[in-house]
Amino acid sequence: MRIVIVGPGAIGCLYAAFLSKSGQEIWLMDKNNERAAKINQQGITVEGLSGNLQARVKTSADVKEIGSADLIIICVKSYDTKETIKQARPLIGDNTNILTLQNGIGNIEIIQEVAGPDKVIGGVTNLGATLIDIGHVRHAGKGETVIGRIDGKIPVEMRFIRETFNKVGLEARISRDIKGLLWSKLIINVGINALTAITRLNNGRLVEFEGMRKILREAVTEATRVAKRKRIKLIYDDPLAKVEAVCEATATNVSSMLQDVLRKKRTEIDFINGVIVRQGQELGILVPVNSILVDLVKTIEASYNLAVEK
């Protein structure tokens, strides 16, 4: 099986390094030629929870060099999904499956628009990873990868993906309700990501300040109302308790959105709190806290290069 991982960020590099031990043909696709050449030459270095691992992974920016794939794993930032899937079109053959392991809501639909409804598999990864340098990643958090199709069907290829992941130590399982899982993760991100990006605090600190805890709770309550109206079945009973527990369990984490802000990069706010704002407005549910969080994060993004005038 030819597996192409698209996106050389922390998660893309981590999956590529693990899957390089699978016995399958593994490629990493990077839109940046120079970076692709560097990873191709130096390989991927993983440190942290899984020990030190050095993996050689064929890396290219040229879809023609890679050829048609059996499985494409999309690991790019959500705002790049549309462009990425268009570029990756030559990799998609009649029997190609496309698995998205991205944050937020909306990626499955964007990929389906280009690739068709039957090829797309949703995924939630609970692995924690931080990119230290090009092709160099720290494995910072253990967790399972859950995959599933929106229609709940489990074709044989999905079992093969699960087995391939499990074989290399990427703990994986299949769910018939991937939407519920994606929304369950979304609500955690809604509570943590924007607030850490605005305050520049580690996840655990959010629950130490009464004011932060209050805003977190309000953002999560709004998101839960939206999910409830959409009849999404969350995988936990008490969303507030769950988000606070995740803050504590990942206390020293620098959230992915804070990492983006610290690197002065665009964030995934539109696919996280932005989803709650758009869907809340469509459903007539008040979402003022999420709306403010979106505006604040967008202001931070837009003002990266403005110096304080004294």
Q: How many Cα neighbours within 13 Å face the side chain of 137?
A: 28
| Candidate list 44, 190, 192, 294; residue touching ligand PAF; CB under 6 A | 192
Task: Identify the CA nearest to 203 among candidates 213, 216, 193.
Answer: 193
Residues 203-232 that bind ligand PAF (CB under 6 A): 203
Tell me which residue has tokens 């607030």: 195
Least CB distance from residue 279 to ligand PAF, whole Å?
20
Nearer to ligand PAF, 6 or 129 (CB): 129
| Candidate list 188, 212, 215, 294; residue touching ligand PAF; CB under 6 A | 188
**Number of shown-chain residues binding ligand PAF (CB under 6 A):** 11
| Candidate list 97, 193, 267, 273; residue touching ligand PAF; CB under 6 A | 193
Least CB distance from residue 193 to ligand PAF, whole Å?
5
Tell me which residue has tokens 């990626």: 107
The catalytic residue among 185, 228, 230, 233 is 185
Residues 61-120 that bind ligand PAF (CB under 6 A): 103
Nearer to ligand PAF, 83 or 248 (CB): 248
Nearer to ligand PAF, 63 or 232 (CB): 232
The number of angstroms, rounded, from the C-alpha of 224 to the middle of its chain's C-alpha atoms is: 20
Task: Tell me the C-alpha distance between 198 and 177, whole Å.
Answer: 32
Q: Which amino acid is at 194?
A: A
Q: Confirm if 210 and 200 have CB atoms less than 8 A apart.
A: no
> How do strand 128-133 and strand 136-141 relate by DSSP bridges?
antiparallel
Q: What are the phi and psi torsion angles at 178 (to 5°)?
A: -70, -30
**Is 185 annotated in the active site?**
yes
Residues 243-272 that bind ligand PAF (CB under 6 A): 246, 250, 253, 255-256
Least CB distance from residue 29 to ligand PAF, whole Å?
23
| Token pair recorded at residue 157 | 């290829």
Least CB distance from residue 259 to ligand PAF, whole Å?
8
DSSP-based three-state secondary structure for 266: coil
| Candidate list 189, 224, 267, 273; residue touching ligand PAF; CB under 6 A | 189
Least CB distance from residue 215 to ligand PAF, whole Å?
15
Nearer to ligand PAF, 36 or 186 (CB): 186
Least CB distance from residue 147 to ligand PAF, whole Å?
17
Nearer to ligand PAF, 7 or 43 (CB): 7
| Token pair recorded at residue 123 | 């995924």
Residue 123 CB partners (closer than 8 Å, separation 6+): 99, 100, 101, 145, 146, 147, 148, 178
Q: Confirm if 180 and 232 have CB atoms less than 8 A apart.
A: yes
Q: Does 145 bind ligand PAF (CB under 6 A)?
A: no
Task: Identify the CA nearest to 39 among candidates 157, 183, 135.
Answer: 135
Active-site positions? Answer: 185
Q: Could you list the residues that contact ligand PAF (CB under 6 A)?
A: 103, 188-189, 192-193, 203, 246, 250, 253, 255-256
